[in-house]
């Protein structure tokens, strides 16, 4: 018995009908809407995508079990016990990691997102052959929609790339509100997942005109991947093509299923000018690359390909060297807390304590497995590997046994491996526009052709229903506080301090508090209520003592109140993590230490630190010359020159260099043409 989305026969579709609508079909419609929304709206990076994902997942789980309660099914198809238990235990371990987290103001969204995705994977994987009715989606519908959305997102991306001042193609993975929120690597990762879907749609198009259109679409998608200038994505793409070729060579089925016969049939059936047309796909991709860059050059500068390949572009070799640092740092941190890790999303706050260079920091360690080990512990990593292995290993065996190449099963397998490979050198699964279609494809692969009889079927049902209900209840409760805090952030942005404090107080019990307490402390300090400011900082310290920003703010307040001993203690703690990110910590630390007669630095240490920042600003490393670090450097260097007169000559020269470089960089930025779309 074969799942309804495996094999060429899956391309025979069904239309949706209002007459056949049921609660389960409403859930299916929500799944398709969610997939569309997350891909086309900021790549699913926004919080609304995560919250919508949770609500849809909860509704789908409850609808599924109600549907099957009425049908009184006695088995569950598609989800093996290994996949189910490892997935559930991974969620449980993640919740425990968040409970014991050292950075509990962040990470809640990762917990609810991963829980929702795994529950949805179970729903997709349990599709039974008799579910291929008019009002139920199948894997064919999912792959078809991914193909459509990928081409549409590429078209939107062309307009953004040509008419906006962003030097890499980002598709729909951008936030128009902020000039820095463009995510080309995440976009390239999405295309690693999407191009096999476009290939599938092209192969099974029945009308010659449609086949030609999808052929052009396939070249278009590859061209847009080239425009992302993502070296990691291209490496993963080569790996995907290698695996595709390996599957072709291992095909040992009867002649009509062999690789050569399939290609012969493929060429004969669909090629308008015989098989040679398929050699034009790379030509099409390069043509798209050149044409779109030519259009962009009429409005903005185009990035040099040679510089990107040779690591001589603006970021230099930092993308390579910093990744190795992040991997090493994450590995060391994981060994310090191997059981539950430091907590979801904690790398952002722990990594600065091991940072090696100016602004060489990141939210994630750029490797999905190191991220899980460091943030959630090695048991969570083991469960995650069992979960993936329980899906991918049987799926790979089925592909080799059947010897087919162009069905949804094989192409989904290649898409999943491409995304996982890219996540070995970059982490982008926080984008729901990537993680949701990846989950759907994993669900397709998890759908087995055997029925797994669960003796504890009632336990499976109860566990999933309870998880869905808890997920919905917690998210609804947290969503209320999130809405209140967003009102506070808006009031703060327009300068309405009292209103902001009112909203922040109303939202003070949220789990996903992020920087709310820090904002409260800053606003209380601004109006002179130091007692309330200190209280907010103490509360922040309880949920995230590793964030050096609270120690900096508390130290500044103590210094302003004349408590030099306390200021020195707090600012020393802030300096331990923030010395390569925020040089403004140094001056008050130096002043409080001198007041106590206990200098925190020697003259050589100060000159070395200033020299390091001077070099970074001169090179504009991570665009530091556009940051407040420039003014903080000038202020500190001026103060040090007064304290150590023998160093003043060199420091005055560095101040002039920094001031000139900042003026140059900022004038170049202001001289850039504004975007033509927004």
Three-state SS across 81-149? HHHHHHHHHHHHHHHHHHHCCCCCCCCHHHHHHHHHHHHHHHHHHCCCHHHCCCCCCCHHHHHHHHHHH
- Name the pTM for this structure: 0.90
CA angle 631, 637, 643 (to 5 degrees): 140
**What gap in Å lies between CA 310 and CA 293, rounded to an integer?**
20
In a domain, 571, yes or no: no
Q: How many CB atoms lie within 10 A of CB 226?
A: 23
Q: Which positions of the chain have pLDDT values less than 70? A: 1-24, 71-78, 128-136, 250-278, 307-319, 448-456
How much of the chain, in percent, has pLDDT values that exceed 70?
86
DSSP 166: -
Q: Which residues contact 285 (CB under 8 A, 6 or more apart)?
A: 219, 222, 223, 225, 226
**What gap in Å lies between CA 416 and CA 410, rounded to an integer?**
10
pLDDT, position 269: 52
DSSP 674: P
The whole domain housing 610 covers 601-678
In a domain, 203, yes or no: yes
DSSP states of 612-624 as a string?
HHHHHHHHTGGGG
pLDDT, position 136: 65
**What gap in Å lies between CA 479 and CA 63, rounded to an integer?**
22
Q: How many CB atoms lie within 10 A of CB 382?
A: 16
CA 306 distance to own-chain centroid: 28
pLDDT, position 131: 45
In a domain, 605, yes or no: yes
CA angle 663, 667, 673 (to 5 degrees): 165
Torsion from C-alpha of 34, 40, 44, 48, nearest 10 degrees: -70
What phi, psi does 502 have (nearest 5°)? -65, -45
Determine the length of the chain: 678
Residue at which a domain ends, from 406, 433, 454: 454
**What gap in Å lies between CA 598 and CA 592, rounded to an integer?**
9
73-95 tens-digit pLDDT: 555 556 888 999 999 999 999 99
CA angle 418, 381, 93 (to 5 degrees): 125
Torsion from C-alpha of 574, 578, 583, 589, nearest 10 degrees: 20
pLDDT, position 15: 40
Q: Which residues contact 145 (CB under 8 A, 6 or more apart)?
A: 32, 35, 36
Contact (CB, 8 A) for 538 and 515: no
**What gap in Å lies between CA 319 and CA 360, rounded to an integer?**
10
DSSP 213: H
Sequence-ordered alpha helix ranges (H) in 513-547 = 516-526, 530-543
Encoding tokens for residue 521? 């402390």
Contact (CB, 8 A) for 122 and 464: yes
**What gap in Å lies between CA 639 and CA 642, rounded to an integer?**
5
pLDDT, position 211: 85
How many separate domains does the chain show?
A: 2
CA angle 105, 108, 111 (to 5 degrees): 150
What phi, psi does 290 have (nearest 5°)? -70, -40
Residue with tokens 């900082």: 537
In a domain, 123, yes or no: yes
Encoding tokens for residue 246? 């390996």
What phi, psi does 174 have (nearest 5°)? -155, 160
**What gap in Å lies between CA 350 and CA 335, rounded to an integer?**
13
**What gap in Å lies between CA 112 and CA 470, rounded to an integer?**
10
In a domain, 470, yes or no: no
In a domain, 652, yes or no: yes
Reading phi first (left if > 0) and then psi (alpha if -120 to 50, else beta), residue 79 is in beta
Q: What's the first-to-final CA gap in the chain, in angstroms?
A: 53
Residue with tokens 């389960």: 24
In a domain, 656, yes or no: yes
**What gap in Å lies between CA 436 and CA 38, rounded to an integer?**
8
Reading phi first (left if > 0) and then psi (alpha if -120 to 50, else beta), residue 674 is in beta
Sequence-ordered alpha helix ranges (H) in 128-279 = 139-163, 184-204, 208-227, 231-250, 259-270
Residue with tokens 């209320």: 480
Residue at which a domain ends, from 407, 428, 454: 454
In a domain, 539, yes or no: no
Reading phi first (left if > 0) and then psi (alpha if -120 to 50, else beta), residue 571 is in alpha
Q: How buried is residue 1: exposed, middle or buried, by Cβ count under 10 Å (0-12/13-18/19+)?
A: exposed
Encoding tokens for residue 667? 């004038």
Helix, strand and coil content of the chain, in percent to the nearest 5, comes to 70, 0, 25
DSSP 507: T
Residue at which a domain ends, from 454, 471, 501: 454
Q: How many CB atoms lie within 10 A of CB 672?
A: 11
List beta partners, residue 451.
77
522-572 tens-digit pLDDT: 999 999 999 999 999 999 999 999 999 999 999 999 999 999 999 999 999
């Amino acid at each position: 018995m074969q799942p309804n989305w495996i094999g060429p026969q899956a391309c025979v579709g069904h239309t949706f009908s209002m007459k056949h609508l049921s609660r389960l079909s409403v859930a299916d419609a929500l799944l398709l809407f969610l997939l569309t929304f997350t891909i086309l709206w900021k790549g699913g990076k926004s919080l609304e995508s995560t919250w919508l994902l949770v609500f849809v997942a909860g509704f789908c789980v409850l609808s599924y079990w109600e549907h099957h309660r009425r049908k009184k099914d006695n088995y569950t198809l598609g989800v093996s016990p290994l996949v189910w238990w490892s997935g559930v235990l991974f969620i449980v371990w993640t919740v425990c990691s968040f409970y014991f987290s050292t950075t509990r103001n962040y990470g809640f969204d990762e917990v609810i997102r991963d829980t929702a995705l795994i529950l949805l994977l179970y729903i997709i994987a349990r599709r039974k052959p008799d579910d291929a009715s008019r009002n139920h989606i199948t894997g064919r519908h999912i792959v078809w929609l991914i193909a459509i959305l990928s081409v549409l997102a590429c078209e939107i991306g062309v307009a953004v790339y040509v008419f906006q001042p962003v030097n890499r193609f980002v598709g729909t993975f951008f936030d128009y509100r902020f000039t820095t929120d463009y995510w080309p690597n995440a976009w390239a990762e999405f295309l690693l997942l999407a191009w096999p879907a476009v290939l599938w749609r092209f192969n099974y198009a029945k009308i010659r005109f449609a086949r030609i259109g999808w052929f052009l679409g396939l070249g278009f998608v590859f061209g847009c991947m080239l425009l992302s200038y993502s070296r990691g994505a291209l490496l993963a793409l080569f790996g995907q093509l290698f695996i595709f070729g390996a599957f072709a060579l291992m095909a040992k089925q009867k002649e009509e299923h062999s690789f050569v016969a399939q290609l012969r049939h493929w060429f004969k059936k669909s090629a308008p000018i015989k098989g040679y047309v398929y050699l034009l796909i790379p030509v099409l991709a390069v043509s798209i690359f050149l044409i779109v860059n030519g259009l962009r050059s009429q409005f903005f500068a185009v990035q040099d390909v040679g510089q990107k390949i040779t690591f001589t572009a603006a970021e230099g070799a930092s993308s390579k060297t910093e990744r190795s640092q992040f991997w090493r740092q994450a590995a060391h941190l994981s060994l310090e807390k191997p059981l539950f890790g430091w907590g979801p999303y904690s790398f952002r706050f722990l990594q600065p304590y091991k940072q090696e260079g100016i602004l060489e920091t990141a939210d994630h360690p750029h490797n999905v497995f190191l991220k899980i080990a460091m943030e959630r512990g090695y048991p969570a990593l083991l469960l995650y590997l069992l979960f993936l292995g329980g899906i991918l290993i049987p799926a790979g065996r089925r592909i080799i046994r059947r010897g087919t190449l162009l069905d949804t099963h094989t192409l989904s397998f290649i898409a999943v491996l491409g995304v996982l490979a890219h996540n070995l050198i970059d982490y982008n699964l926080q984008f729901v526009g990537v993680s949701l279609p990846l989950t759907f494809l994993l669900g397709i692969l998890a759908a087995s052709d055997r029925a797994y009889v669960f003796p504890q079927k009632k336990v499976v049902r109860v566990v999933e229903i309870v998880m869905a209900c808890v997920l919905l209840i917690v998210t609804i409760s947290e969503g209320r506080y999130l809405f209140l805090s967003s009102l506070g952030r808006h009031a703060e942005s327009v300068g309405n301090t009292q209103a902001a404090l009112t909203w922040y107080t109303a939202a003070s019990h949220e789990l996903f508090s992020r920087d709310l307490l820090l904002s409260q402390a800053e606003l209380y300090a601004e109006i002179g209520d130091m007692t309330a400011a200190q209280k907010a900082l103490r509360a922040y310290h309880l949920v995230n003592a590793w964030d050096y920003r609270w120690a900096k703010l508390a130290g500044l307040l103590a210094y302003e109140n004349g408590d030099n001993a306390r200021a020195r203690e707090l600012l020393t703690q802030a300096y331990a993590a923030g010395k390569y990110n925020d040089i403004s910590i140094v001056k008050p630390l130096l002043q409080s230490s001198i007041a106590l007669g206990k200098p925190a630095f020697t003259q050589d240490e100060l000159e070395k630190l200033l020299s390091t920042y001077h070099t970074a600003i001169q090179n504009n490393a991570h665009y530091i010359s556009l940051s407040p670090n420039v003014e903080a450097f000038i202020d500190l260097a001026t103060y040090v020159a007064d304290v150590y007169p023998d160093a003043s000559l060199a420091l005055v020269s560095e101040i002039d260099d920094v001031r000139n470089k900042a003026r140059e960089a900022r004038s170049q930025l202001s001289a850039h043409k504004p975007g033509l779309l927004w």
